[in-house]
Amino acid sequence: MRTTHPTPPPAPGRRAFLAGGLAALGLGLAGCGPADTVLSGRRRLRQWNLFTGGDGARMVQMHDAYRREHPDIDFEPATFLWGNPFYTKFAMGAAGGRAFDIATLHVSRIRGMGAGTLIDPVPTDLLAEHGITRDTVLANVWDKCVVDGELYAIPLDTHLVVTYYNREVCERAGVLEPDGTLVTTSGEEEFLDVLAAVKEATGQYGIAMDTTQPWRQFWSLYRQLGGEMSFDGDLRLDDDKALRSLDFLRRVSEEGLAPQASDAPGTPANFQNGICGLMWAGNWEIATFADAGMDFGMRPFPDIYGAELGQGDSHCFVLPHRRVPDDAAVAAAVGYAAWMLKHSITWAGGGHTPAYLPVTRGDDYAALEPQSEYRHAAADVQFDPEAWFSGSAAPLQNEASAVLSGVHNGSVTPEAALERFKAAARKLIDTPEPV
């Protein structure tokens, strides 16, 4: 998974696109080419995904293994740049009806990407034949894949914001347990004390976080306070809890415990270079530090307001809507997804926590360090609020990050940032849903 969040295209243009030219393109796609199995005698299976970098390499590794075990499948994966380039391509392909047989999405986007229109329900009876049910998958993630009582996605993993710690720096700061893990804290002051000790050890900062994309930190803190957010007709949120969350982020930066400006690529670099001893970031950054030979550990997002809750999401497999039913193609796609879940120990190497419980409960996963230090956090991952404009790389995250980042550098007060966020959210509520 990448850490950049491209700005989404304007909604009206996308709506017009889906309503007009896209349909024409889809009809063209549907009308060309031979039947899937005519030429090769093998079942053709086209898979679209959004994985590049380290995730992409692991996906290729898994796909190579899948091909070796399924010589009867003519498997054709295709990778696209994640964010709006991928989601726009997905909408085009799904509207066309025959561009792909299965694709990866973020669970937080399945409602906005057309569950019930562009995305077909998953046949749970067929999935159960492969041993994949609600009982064998993280229940909280499975439930997020259900829309209006029907399963629309097959979850592969959970990925969330966690705490990284440099073991050498933290040992000098005196904030490690005897077993070499980071001390557990509870409440604002205990965590700030740890940051102050680490700052003294580094001589610069205690922690780094992406200040240009503060939504993950904000949502984690807000949810720890029990904050809710909804958009049904109007914006509903708890101002007091939102301000308390923002004020904590302001305090960390203002007191010099974290850089006031640190972007997505700069944040892991700051951690790796020893400018700070801790970092808040997604668990997918693990390969960067492992490859560098760092001695580091990982814990869930800290308990600042009562629980170690962290914002996150899940990669999942979805089936496009088919104008003409094709049971054989659906069966091949579901079989592929089930195989990927059962072999997701490879996927776990990149930091993502597999959704398939037999994998995370196995000895191989328990032996993975530092993945096993934070695996329990996946059961309490805090998904973004539900709306067509919410979720990974969706407009709400981008709007929130644009206005909340000023809290870190002192250019805006928490009160002013919250009012700007509320105004941006209300504009999104008034924007027609494009799918």
pLDDT in tens, 223-232: 999 999 999 9
Give the pLDDT confidence of 230-271 residue by residue, as tens digits.
Answer: 999 999 999 999 999 999 999 999 999 999 999 999 999 999
pLDDT band at residue 20 under the 50/70/90 scheme: very low
The CATH architecture that domain 42-156+314-361 belongs to is 3-Layer(aba) Sandwich (3.40)
* pLDDT confidence bin for 4, thresholds 50/70/90: very low
Grade residue 9 by pLDDT with cuts at 50, 70 and 90: very low
The residue assigned the tokens 């899948």 is 66
Contact between 110 and 145 (Cβ < 8 Å): yes
Task: Identify the CATH number of the domain defined by range 159-313+380-430.
Answer: 3.40.190.10
- The pair phi, psi for residue 339, each rounded to 5°, is -60, -40
Q: Which one is predicted more confidently, 97 or 90?
A: 90
| CATH 3.40.190.10 location in the chain | 42-156+314-361, 159-313+380-430
Mean pLDDT, the chain, whole residue set: 90
pLDDT digits (tens, 9 = 90+) for 181-212: 999 999 999 999 999 999 999 999 999 999 99
**Residue 28, C-beta contacts closer than 8 angstroms, at least 6 positions apart:** 96
The answer on pLDDT for 36 being more than 70 is: no
Buried b (16+ CB within 10 A) or exposed e, 379-404: ebbbbbbbbbbbbbbbbbbbbbbbbb
Q: Residue 244 has what pLDDT? A: 98
Strand pairing of 157-166 and 312-313?
A: antiparallel
Buried b / exposed e along 322-348 (16+ C-beta atoms within 10 A): eeeeeeebbebbbbbbbbbbbbbbbbb
Any idea which of 41-45, 129-133, 221-225, 238-242 has the lowest mean pLDDT? 41-45
Confidence of residue 40 (pLDDT cuts 50, 70, 90): low
- Among candidate residues 288, 54, 349, 345, the one with its CA nearest the CA of residue 166: 288
Task: Tell me what the mean pLDDT of segment 68-95 comes to.
Answer: 89
pLDDT tier, 304 (very low <50, low <70, confident <90, very high otherwise) = very high
DSSP character for 201? H
Q: How far apart are the first and last CA of the chain?
A: 25
- Distance CA(315)–CA(159), nearest Å, equals 8
pLDDT at 35 over 60: no
Is the pLDDT at 38 greater than 60? The verdict is: no
**CA–CA distance, 29 with 19 (Å, rounded to integer):** 16
Higher confidence at residue 37 or residue 147? Answer: 147
**Structure confidence at residue 270 (pLDDT):** 95
d(CA 353, CA 376): 9
Per-residue pLDDT, 98: 66
In the prediction, which pLDDT does 83 show? 81
Q: Which of 109-118, 346-355, 378-387, 423-432 has the lowest mean pLDDT?
A: 109-118
